[in-house]
Amino acid sequence: MKEDNCIFCKIANGEIPSATVYEDEDFRVILDMGPASKGHGLILPKHHFKDLCEADEKVAAKLFPLAGKIGHAMKTGLGASGFNVVQNNGASAGQTVFHLHVHVIPRYEGGPVMVSWTPGKEDGKELERTAEIIKDALHMQNGDDIT
Ligand code: 5GP
Ligand code: ZN
C-alpha cells in the first residue's frame, strides 16, 4: 500500500527516479541524496510502513539479510572496509522521512566512523529495574499474563 504525499513511496515504486542499486518485489535500494559517505544506501520497502513498529514481520525479516548483501557489495565494489546499518524510528531518534527505511553506510579506512554516544553510568539494580519495565511492556504487547 502506498501513502499519498510520501516521497519514499513514490521513489520505492518508481514514480520518482532514483539512483537504484537493487530492486525486487518488496524493496528498492537507492543512494541517499545527502550521503554520510560515498555509496550511502537506503533500503526502502515498497509498502508504506511508518517505522519498524508498524512493519509487516515478513518484510522486516528480510531487511537485515538485504542490508548484509548491500554492505558486502559496498566492500567489494567500492572498496569500503566496513559499513554501518542504521535505522531511525521517530523524530527523537533522528527519523526525518516517515516511511520505514534502513541506512547502509559504507566506511573507508581513515574516514570518519559513525557518530557514537558517550557511555553513561548505571548501577546493576537500575539496569534490572529498567529491564523489568521493558519485559512487562513486552508481555503486555504479546497479551501474556503477567504474574
Ligand atoms: P532518516 O533521518 O529519516 O533516517 O533518513 C532520511 C534520509 O533520506 C536522509 O539521509 C536524507 O538525506 C534522505 N532523503 C530524503 N529525501 C530524499 C530523496 O528524495 N531522495 C534520496 N535519494 N534521499 C532522500
Ligand atoms: Zn511511504
20/41 Cα distance (integer angstroms)? 9
Verify whether ligand 1 is closer than 6 Å to residue 20 (CB atom): no
Amino acid at 69: K
The catalytic residue positions are 101
32 touches 20 (CB < 8 A): no
What would the DSSP string read from start to end of 104-141? EEEE-TTSPPPP-PPP----HHHHHHHHHHHHHHHHHH
Amino acid at 54: E
Three cell numbers at 20? 537504484
Residue 88 has a pLDDT of: 97
Ligand 1 atom nearest to 96, measured from its CA: 3
Shortest-distance Cα residue to atom 13 of ligand 1: 32
What's this model's pTM, rounded to 2 decimal places? 0.93
Three cell numbers at 28? 528498492
Residue 30: phi, psi to the nearest 5? -120, 170
- The string over 95-108, giving b where at least 16 C-beta atoms fall within 10 Å of a residue's C-beta and e elsewhere, is beebbbbbbbbbbb
Residue 113 has a pLDDT of: 81
Residue 38 has a pLDDT of: 96
**Per-residue pLDDT for the chain (147 aa), expressed as one digit of tens each?**
788 899 999 999 999 999 999 999 999 999 999 999 999 999 999 999 999 999 999 999 999 999 999 999 999 999 999 999 999 999 999 999 999 999 999 999 999 887 678 889 999 999 999 999 999 999 999 887 554
